[in-house]
Amino acid sequence: MNRLIAIFFGMALVNNMVLVKFLGLCPFFGVSKKTKSAVSMGIAVTLVMLVASAVTWPIYYYLLVPYGVEVMKTVIFILVIASLVQIIEMAIKRTNLTLYNALGIYLPLITTNCAVLGITFINVDQSYTFWEALVAALGAGSGFLLVLLIMSGIRERLEYADTPRAFRGSPIAFITAMLLGLAFLAFKGMI
Amino acid sequence: MSSFWKNLTKGIVKSNPTFILMLGLCPTLAVSTSLDNAVGMTAAFVVVLVLSNIIVSAIRNYVPDRVRIPVFIVIIATLVSVVDLMMQGFMPALSKSLGIYIPLIVVNCIILGRAEAFARRNGILDSIADGLGIGIGFGVAIFLISFIRELLGTGKLELFGFKLFSIPGLDQNPAAIFLFPMGAFLVIGLLLALFRQLGVSKYE
């Protein structure tokens, strides 16, 4: 149990997907202008990460490892994730239209989100067990959601700030990310 | 031939993938802690991009439009697996230090973007030029960032164990923040602002 808690907080705070591992930067800068879309994106990514980890783990250990074709993991995982995203999109569209309207446009973008493919590789690299992989995915997703939420809050305020002309838009967003990263560095002593 | 040069040069400055289009930032920022990493990443990236452009361009008349994205993804993923294995075999140390960022080239938006926007509409030669140009543009960006981060973060520059030069004083007390992940954000943020000030890129 302690190990699961350590993995969760390690993934969410210490080894944060965005600020430490640089995964999922495109949605981080692209969707962090408004809090509402940031939350939708964060939830969608967490959901896909969880399902992707739950599906790729058995595929890796019960299909690729017995046949000795671990090298195929890049090809297999990206195909699995791409089709999963399609299936999740269809399922949400059929069952919950409100949720679909909130998350819909973000789901196709997630296919090429390196954070999702990244977490499946990390699960394999760290040789996590099935439950550890799920907790790691949940932690990584929550960390992503948290940072996206903080970032969007700051950027909404930044709109009204008198930023030097050359820094407007993306440069100041990078500088903000750097300060956020400094703050998250303090979590390093936690585990 | 003139279109070859035009396609080759446009990727370096005018549509530089990192500084102008701001695509594929994850590997650029993550591995840019040393010049060695920059060389390795650029090599892997250029090989995958040029080969995927060639293949996509060669099969452009045979792939139905509706299934083109999955086809492109499978092509890119196969090439990435090949490059990943080659690096593990011939350059194990470099492959270890680049880690998961080599297999993650699959989801790099630049490569899929070039296949979708250029290679599927143009001939093989033009696609090679485009791939090389964008690849060099990516290389220039990652070199620039690695140069600054390694120089300020360690106080010296090294290329595959060969010491290029060091700054007296700074190599004893380096500004280690540049080697931390947030150092990358700081460097790219300042560089983007600098390019705007110099007029290379446009204001928002």
**Three-state secondary structure call for residue B113:** helix
For A90-138, the pLDDT digits (tens) are: 888 888 777 777 776 677 777 767 888 889 988 888 888 999 999 999 9
The confidence score (pLDDT) of residue A142 equals 93
> Which residue does chain B place closest to A72, by CA atoms?
B81
Kindly state the average pLDDT of the residues B126-145: 90
Q: B61 to chain A, minimum CA–CA distance in Å?
A: 23
Does the pLDDT of residue A181 top 80, yes or no? yes
Residues in chain A, total? 191
Q: A97 to chain B, minimum CA–CA distance in Å?
A: 26
The confidence score (pLDDT) of residue B63 equals 85
Closest Cβ–Cβ partner in A23, A171, A173 for B26: A23
The confidence score (pLDDT) of residue A95 equals 81
> Which residue does chain A place closest to B22, by CA atoms?
A26
Output the CA–CA distances (angstroms, integers) from residue B165 to A98, B156, B171, in the order listed.
Answer: 60, 6, 10
Strand partners, B157: B165
Q: What span, in angstroms and rounded, lies between the C-alpha atoms of A54 and A44?
A: 16
Q: What span, in angstroms and rounded, lies between the C-alpha atoms of A150 and A160?
A: 17
A18 touches chain B (CB under 8 A): no
Strand partners, B162: B159
Helices (H), chain A: 2-9, 25-30, 35-59, 73-95, 97-103, 107-110, 114-125, 130-158, 170-185
Reported as half-sphere exposure (CB side, CA atoms, 13 A), residue B161 has a value of 2
> Which residue does chain A place closest to B103, by CA atoms?
A74
Q: Which two tokens stand for residue A65?
A: 């490892």
Report residue B56's pLDDT band, with 50, 70 and 90 as the boundaries.
very high
CB–CB of B103 and A168 under 8 A?
no
**Radius of gyration for chain B, computed over Cα atoms and rounded to the nearest angstrom:** 18
Cβ neighbors of A85 (< 8 A, separation 6 or more) are: A48, A107, A108, A110, A111
Q: What span, in angstroms and rounded, lies between the C-alpha atoms of B92 and B90?
A: 6
CB–CB of A78 and B100 under 8 A?
no
The confidence score (pLDDT) of residue B1 equals 58
What ipTM was estimated for this complex? 0.84
A125 touches chain B (CB under 8 A): yes
- Give B185's contacts in chain A (Cβ within 8 Å): 174-175, 177-178, 181
Let me know: does A174 contact B173? Beta carbons within 8 Å. no
CB–CB of A117 and B107 under 8 A?
yes
Cβ neighbors of A5 (< 8 A, separation 6 or more) are: none
CB–CB of A75 and B81 under 8 A?
yes
Closest Cβ–Cβ partner in A26, A74, A113 for B84: A74
Q: A19 to chain B, minimum CA–CA distance in Å?
A: 7
Output the CA–CA distances (angstroms, integers) from residue A50 to A61, A117, B24, in the order listed.
Answer: 17, 11, 24
